[in-house]
Structure 1
């Protein structure tokens, strides 16, 4: 029995032969388009055999060939589907190629007015870049584009999920103004929904912490504004922590600041993002020349 890879290679050779014979004058007279369809099927079958053999690069390449043929034949939906199939294979072996394939599918979907599909694939690209911390700026770009398309299709829930990712990484990249603007925007949107109202507290907390990275006075003004937006925020543990941190920052009390964070963390675990932001705020205290 031939291996899956050998069978796949035979199918690719068969596809190439069909394409060569369909190009000539007689080929176009005698079922040229049927031969192209047969070649597409050969590439797709080969791709699936490569998948079974876990040869992801070859599988991605075969799906790409099928997508290119669909594209030339004007079968845009089938082309986009095969580019996505190719991307799913390349994800396991070559992220750059996976991104290229998804971008080609996005171009087709946007041209067809299928913006929800385009948004989902921008989101997939963002998640791939997210896994590689070197490419966070690119992740942010694709999350923003996804949010824009989702919002255009009135899918505000998915748009806000993408925007929250943008805010998270904008803060990580020290673009605090952008993060603050998004957290406030999503908090405002949450307050307009009885189901999402409670989550506004977290977004206002995050926005206030970003303010503290920049300036204590601005943070205090923001906190007053947040309480006007959402009066219940004043009774939250998050708000009380913010008040305590502001007091310790004004007193330049590093130990008090550390203790307040520890106390809060003992009840509500702070994730990696919060820890990173709080350490940056604490560093502004450590760097203050008045403490030396």
Structure 2
């Protein structure tokens, strides 16, 4: 591995030498400058791969960025974008912000080329980076929204909805319930237009109802009846019945009944972390202020 790194360093030095070599009359006449640029790019790419073999991710990322910059100088947009993505994949293992920065450069190129699906996918990757180790939900939401916008523009409705559902999930976690409700209702309505996706609507109506319940009990009661009118089969679902029961217990300030209803549901259909977080907030909210109606 040390041998690979030594070779990589030699290639970097060789690339730098090619870029700083004087460009005389014959070089200009026969395009020697362009040849040296191409050779320097090749050196950086080879060095990057050697650094990757040695798991020196930062150095590998830097070499890919250098190669990308040179491609951009030469007007090779596609190659530049590809190398920025390569750099991002390396930085992803050690430097999240550098990984993001490299992807943003690739996105700038792809949008300039009119390749919005590629730009959308990379915004989605950035969103995933921010929701992961970086744990920055606000920025994650921004990039999921941008990805969804580009996907919609390219008629990729399924991909756009997938991103918007992430926005709704995190909006609710950040207590922006109105935004979450709007998205869940829109996605649920779009599911009803598809015979294949219709059954998925119950989950999104359920999530929207819980967001309503986080804000106002009366609104939640009106919302689930509205959802049942849109999707009559929803009334037969356990999710609809649970929300109805929770509303009844909260109306009576019966926190114990509220808790038991959730336990009964969870014993059959496991509630994930998002649901438990929202339900615990609702319980705490009404427990502290039983007159909240």
TM-score, length basis structure 2: 0.96
Deviations 1:9-57 (A, max 9, x none): 0000111111112555554345110110000000000000000000000
Looking at structure 2, the residues matched to 74 and 58 of structure 1 have their Cα atoms a distance apart, in angstroms, of: 24
Looking at structure 1, the residues matched to 215 and 260 of structure 2 have their Cα atoms a distance apart, in angstroms, of: 21
Structure 1 equivalent of residue 142 of structure 2: 141
Looking at structure 2, the residues matched to 268 and 2 of structure 1 have their Cα atoms a distance apart, in angstroms, of: 53
Indicate conservation of the 8 Å contact 1:22/1:33, yes or no: no
Structure 1 equivalent of residue 11 of structure 2: 11
Shift of 1:289: 5.4
Counterparts in 2 of 1:167-246, with a 5 A limit? 167-246=168-247
Structure 2 equivalent of residue 52 of structure 1: 53
Looking at structure 2, the residues matched to 172 and 25 of structure 1 have their Cα atoms a distance apart, in angstroms, of: 65
Looking at structure 1, the residues matched to 141 and 25 of structure 2 have their Cα atoms a distance apart, in angstroms, of: 50
Indicate conservation of the 8 Å contact 2:253/2:290, yes or no: no
Root-mean-square deviation over aligned CA pairs: 1.5
Structure 2 equivalent of residue 64 of structure 1: 65
Structure 1 equivalent of residue 251 of structure 2: 250
Counterparts in 2 of 1:68-147, with a 5 A limit? 68-132=69-133, 134-147=135-148
Looking at structure 2, the residues matched to 23 and 60 of structure 1 have their Cα atoms a distance apart, in angstroms, of: 29
Moved more, 163-172 or 20-29: 20-29
Looking at structure 2, the residues matched to 4 and 266 of structure 1 have their Cα atoms a distance apart, in angstroms, of: 55
Using a 3 Å threshold, how does the CA distance of structure 1 residues 128 and 239 change in structure 2: closer, same or farther?
same
Looking at structure 2, the residues matched to 128 and 106 of structure 1 have their Cα atoms a distance apart, in angstroms, of: 15
How many equivalent pairs are there?
Answer: 291
Q: What SS does the aligned partner of 1:3 have? A: helix
Shift of 1:286: 1.1
Shift of 1:284: 1.6
Looking at structure 1, the residues matched to 146 and 51 of structure 2 have their Cα atoms a distance apart, in angstroms, of: 33
Looking at structure 2, the residues matched to 290 and 32 of structure 1 have their Cα atoms a distance apart, in angstroms, of: 78
Deviations 1:125-183 (A, max 9, x none): 00000114641000000000000000100000000000000000000000000000000
Shift of 1:2: 6.7
Using a 3 Å threshold, how does the CA distance of structure 1 residues 108 and 22 change in structure 2: closer, same or farther?
farther
Using a 3 Å threshold, how does the CA distance of structure 1 residues 252 and 24 change in structure 2: closer, same or farther?
farther
Moved more, 272-281 or 127-136: 127-136
Using a 3 Å threshold, how does the CA distance of structure 1 residues 272 and 23 change in structure 2: closer, same or farther?
farther
Deviations 1:175-196 (A, max 9, x none): 0000000000000110101110
**Which consecutive residues of structure 2, in runs of 5 or more, have no partner in the other structure?**
none
Looking at structure 2, the residues matched to 24 and 145 of structure 1 have their Cα atoms a distance apart, in angstroms, of: 48
